[in-house]
A and B are shown apart, each in its own frame.
Chain A
């Protein structure tokens, strides 16, 4: 007789001392783990619920300005530094980790219209209502010294925006025309105008650094090459664009924030049709900024909300609002891809998490593993109606909610009417126009 009976030595399965960690022998045989998919689904559902439970994006409010915050600038080298300019001409420098103001200077009389930092982070530029461009040192003046700009350029008209070249000592301003300046010279090295009276904003392309784009008040977006004497081309839209932002990872893509509540992502090589129309805001969009990964961008709107859009999705994935936040005028995405900064009308700068439910601070390896596992589960079951319902749910302020409902009804009515017109007119006489094509009037070269 040959016989063997299962007999385990407990020492192989129990930890040796109480200081030791527990032994966990594994057996991945699927028949020992029934209900794999229902259990995964339950975990995914729990993970989604927990994500909503922990979605507390608001981190801090920086107060100190005595008028609405009109513009902000990120420091290119320091994550904790932020510059902000307000409507009373004051510029403040903030330390974000300490959440306090480190320096205040009276830069202009009237609004600070625009602001940008030099690529090396040693100085910054401001433009204001007093028709001046001022360059300031990043360091605070030492004791006894007076706060004075490094250089001051007095222009002929009001400048409305400024942006600095990403590699060279060149910056661009906009106002009645777009000017390219050399830092060393007191007159512009190049001036662009295309029969337009005034420009709202100008931005350098971070990848193809010669390129820049500006939004004009005649509803057009104009593209320039710094090396040429004339602008490249422009696209005229139905309503005015307020600002635009280049995608930092894809050199030819940019997104503009429009007065018609939408944002439009364009490929600069094909301006006749926007790539994506980002809808969700219920009032004019005032500012936007791309995340450093180029996958998402954040937009600030007159409807007192901030929304985050994936770059290729027509709808926002997230909306931020508080009771006290008024019209959001400027917004920035922090260079470490973790935070969002908003400046609003009621004189505050707010710090938000870019990912609402993210846990801040150092994660232990087990936490990290659990987080990754949960993320994968959420991705796997994201289209299940039960999961999607929870993941999509957002509380909205009542005006925004009712407004969006109203907009939906209006849009549906317009669509219905178009359809009926198309149906009852001579075939071929009324073409069907897609949503993307609707908003672009012409492209001029």
Chain B
């Protein structure tokens, strides 16, 4: 679009010069040649720019070819926008993977060819992916007030009235005052909703069509509910044990290894269900094979604050001491321990890209941390403190205080003065979650469930092969098989998930040391020298000792010999150089 405006401007500029008004008999060719010149100028300009940028010679060659083909169009006119459409830097940056490798000096031959080939291929892939962004069908939602209107003053009813009927129907309240307060969970594709009331009421709903899939009362306290990899199964943390039900409410498993569970998190790519319990245990259950992968005693008391980093599958736990600890199933100790609040931590949320962590504490503060550097970025003071946090796919933050739900925009990057939206629900909020790929926030509270409209919350374009809200049964089955085949092993969970793609630069010595530590002995250590037995009195103890002595400390002797030789060489060198500039007084020197 920018290029288009440019040309228009230029044309206008040309038109300003006093030229006699054109008549139709005034050769059309003249016009054409002028156009051509104009185009050429632009082209040259563009070419220069590109040269400055230092584009790959490979791409340049290709461009020249297309230009040559373009010059003689059928109509005789020039293409005003030659070559492929430019891709903006931001978009390219979005699809960038890793830093551009530097070719080591002296790289030649086949290695150089393969390295530069790989570079070209990755550039092409990046460009293509960035270009494909143009074809994405949907745009994100938004909410803007007129002048002297605050978006936070808008009522949900007004918004629901202003939008189309289907979207308006996404704002609804479920009055379930008997068994509340409710915990909420959406499936990964955002189609299904799971509600778990503290007093035992569990319901799963296809919330868009408002179809009730199953509803039951487990006749026990329900601490948390979580969907597993698809809408076919879900886990419920009940008073004593962890249970797994299927979508029609049939109890599939009662897992007695997992007791007194308070919070659940599901790691979709690892098929792991992480649980935090009152006894301070963080346990991982592999739901594809039903095995406990790890049970870690955190020694931090009751664990009722838990969040998952979706980018690297690290579990964040919040503690009453104000610390947040980061856990992976491969390590007994926390990977990171950070002091975030002066009071206890009330809630944690981690954003989709795994960059920011938002915490709220009993000190009534809301803090934003960079999880890559573990540095605090922003700190806000909320008069009542936030009890429940949730981050949406596009970075909106939901913070609820009592029965008021507040949604903030851009908390991580810019200092925020007032909320983007507010809404008052009927009871105090217990759980909130943004619905993936929808502009909807689900709030579970003491009096039931509220589905709120939050324009701009959800990612507008989903990936059909990953989480597809419109998938058919067949597609779901195929996806399930594929997902199970590429289940990531829990050993690969770490702070940097890209670690595996890097070159292992550990030196031989380091690796050897690790090996020695792991084995408890040095596998490469020399065996002790035992002299051969010799007959005819040649193996008397004295002789044996003598032979041993010959071999003993061989390595040391070699080393000493080498160092001595080197020293001698150096002194010789010094003498040689000194003799060149000896002063007369040197003879008195000792």
> Footprint of B on A, CB under 8 Å?
1-8, 10, 12-14, 22-43, 46, 384
Contact = CB atoms under 8 A, between A and B. Distances in A.
Interface stretch (B326-334, B456-464, B529-537, B581-589): B456-464
Contact of B163 (A5, A8, A34, A38): A5
A38 B97 CA distance: 14
Given A2-B144, A42-B486, A25 B464 contact: yes
B486 A43 contact: yes
A49 to B, nearest CB: 11
Contacts of A10: 470
A370 to B, nearest CB: 11
Contact of A3 (B133, B136, B142, B462): B142
A25 B462 contact: yes
Given A22-B475, A28-B95, A30-B95, A7 B163 contact: yes
Indicate the member of B353, B438, B462, B470 with the most A CB atoms within 10 Å.
B470
For the complex of A and B, list the 4 residue pairs with the smallest distance between their C-beta atoms, beginning with the closest. A24-B464, A13-B470, A37-B501, A5-B167
Contacts of B94: 29-30
29 contacts: A1-B159, A2-B143, A4-B139, A4-B163, A4-B455, A5-B141, A5-B163, A6-B140, A6-B141, A8-B138, A10-B470, A12-B137, A13-B470, A22-B475, A24-B465, A25-B461, A25-B462, A28-B95, A31-B311, A34-B312, A35-B497, A36-B97, A37-B497, A37-B499, A37-B501, A38-B269, A38-B489, A40-B501, A41-B500
B488 interface: yes
A252 B485 CA distance: 48
A29 B158 CA distance: 34
B556 to A, nearest CB: 15
Contact residues on B (Cβ < 8 Å of other chain), bracket: 35 or more
B76 to A, nearest CB: 39
Interface string B468-499: 11101011000000000111110010000111
Interface string B124-159: 000001001100111111111110010000100011
B352 interface: yes
B485 A46 contact: yes
Contacts of B460: 6
B466 interface: yes
Contacts of A7: 163-164, 166-167
A3 B310 contact: no
Given A30-B95, A39-B486, A1 B149 contact: yes
Contacts of B136: 27
Contacts of B486: 39, 42-43, 46
A368 B453 CA distance: 46
A7 B453 CA distance: 12
A3 B497 contact: no
B231 interface: no
Given A10-B470, A38-B492, A38-B500, A1 B311 contact: no
Given A10-B470, A27-B462, 12 more contacts: A1-B162, A3-B163, A4-B141, A5-B453, A25-B462, A25-B464, A31-B352, A37-B500, A38-B492, A42-B485, A42-B487, A43-B486
B547 to A, nearest CB: 15
Contacts of A46: 485-486
A384 B462 CA distance: 33
Interface in B484-542: 485-489, 492, 497-501
B388 interface: no
B439 interface: yes
Nearest to B499: A37
B396 interface: no
Contact of B439 (A6, A22, A35): A6
Nearest to B457: A6
B496 to A, nearest CB: 10
A19 B217 CA distance: 42
Contacts of A384: 500
B357 interface: no
Nearest to B158: A1
B345 interface: no
Contacts of B164: 5, 7
B398 interface: no
A442 to B, nearest CB: 31
A38 B461 contact: no
B463 A1 contact: no
Given A30-B94, A32-B466, A38 B497 contact: yes
A19 B439 CA distance: 33
Given A8-B138, A31-B353, A43-B486, A37 B498 contact: yes
B269 A35 contact: yes
B137 A35 contact: no
B313 interface: yes
A6 B470 contact: no
B485 A30 contact: no
A27 B461 contact: yes
A34 B463 contact: no
A5 B455 contact: yes
Given A33-B466, A34-B497, A35-B313, A4 B488 contact: no
Contacts of B129: 28
Nearest to B130: A28
Contact of A34 (B141, B310, B459, B474): B310
Interface string B272-315: 00000000000000000000000000000000000000111100
B480 to A, nearest CB: 15
Contacts of A41: 492, 500
B473 to A, nearest CB: 11
A393 to B, nearest CB: 20
Contacts of B470: 10, 13-14, 23
B489 A42 contact: yes
B455 A25 contact: no
Contacts of B95: 28-30
Contact of B132 (A2, A4, A28, A39): A28
A1 B150 CA distance: 9
Given A4-B455, A6-B458, A26 B463 contact: yes
Contacts of A8: 138, 469
Interface string B352-366: 111000000000000
Contact of B463 (A4, A32, A36): A32
A23 B464 contact: yes
Contacts of A32: 459, 462-463, 466
Indicate the member of B94, B158, B458, B488 with the most A CB atoms within 10 Å.
B488
A29 B143 CA distance: 24
Interface in B376-418: none
B98 to A, nearest CB: 10
B361 to A, nearest CB: 28
Contacts of A3: 141-144, 159, 162-163, 455
A213 B569 CA distance: 53
A13 B140 CA distance: 17
Contacts of B437: 6
Nearest to A24: B464
A46 to B, nearest CB: 6
A25 B137 contact: yes
Nearest to A380: B501
A24 B497 CA distance: 27
B488 A39 contact: yes
A13 B137 CA distance: 10
B559 to A, nearest CB: 14
A116 B149 CA distance: 94
Given A28-B95, A30-B94, A1 B145 contact: yes
A38 B501 CA distance: 8
A402 B439 CA distance: 68
Contacts of A42: 485-489
Contact of B154 (A1, A13, A27, A43): A1
